[in-house]
Amino acid sequence: MAAAETPPDGFEPEAEAALIGALAETESEPVRRALLSRMLATGRRAGSWSLGSLTARITGMAPELRVNGRSELLRRHPGHTEDQVADLLIGKAARSAAGVGAATGAAAFLPFPVTWPVQLATETVVVIGIELKLVAELHEVYGAAAAGPPAERALVYLSAWSRQRGATVTSADATLAAGSAVNKRLRRRIAMRTGRDVVSLGPLLSGAALGAAVNHRETTRLGKRIKKDLRRRG
């Protein structure tokens, strides 16, 4: 990671990863709003929303995400094939990402004022965390989990996320590529979320609806690409 890419003050990767993990697992709207309120409060205190600080936040948070292993994922879905479990994971992640977009797009529920940069930065970090968890768990389902300690595995999955393909690089290769790859994917995601690349979604979408639609579409697309790549290799 480049020296300029330092996390903002007040950033706590373990706490942020725990909140994102809970957001990825819950299907409850009240719970989702409560968790997002805590995430936005953290983002407001941090006060730094540059691309470099967002990248540092993501690479710092990624190793702390709780990823369910293959045996746990199959145990949760008895009688399902790998492909069926993968589809369930993709659907759940897409719904979670859409829920985050809808909730942050309707910021009236917050107990404190929040600016658009805080809202966008927080939503971006949360949705990418949900997607990273999805990427890792798809690899687990197909028996293709990355090796090494958590920090090295996180870099491999970040590389897979940014390329939207199954992991093919070693942790050493991923370390060299992670910063620039994440920056590139971040720029694309932020451009979509701010409405500069949503023509296919229709001209009437805005606010909560836009956030939900963009996030659901992009998370589903990511999951299907990773699944297709892992199935082809398997």
| Contact assessment for residue 40 and residue 110, using Cβ atoms and an 8 Å cutoff | yes
Kindly list the domain boundaries of the chain, sorted by start residue.
13-233
Q: What is the pLDDT of residue 10?
A: 61
Q: How confident is the model at residue 103 (pLDDT cuts 50, 70, 90)?
A: confident
Question: How far apart are alpha carbons 190 and 211 in whole angstroms?
Answer: 11
State the average pLDDT over residues 13-22. 93
How far does CA 105 lie from the centroid of its chain? 17
Instruction: Report how far apart, in Å, the C-alpha atoms of 42 and of each of 5, 36, 180 are.
Output: 18, 10, 25
Q: Closest Cα to residue 53, out of 103, 114, 110, 124?
A: 124
Q: How far apart are CA 205 and CA 141, in angstroms?
A: 35
Distance CA 131, CA 158 (A): 10
Tell me the pLDDT band of 7, cut-offs 50, 70 and 90: low
Residues 17-46, mean pLDDT to the nearest whole number? 86
pLDDT tens by residue, 77-92: 999 999 999 999 999 9
- Residue 82 makes CB contacts below 8 A (sequence gap 6+) with 141, 142
Can you count the helices (H) and strands (E) in the chain?
9, 0
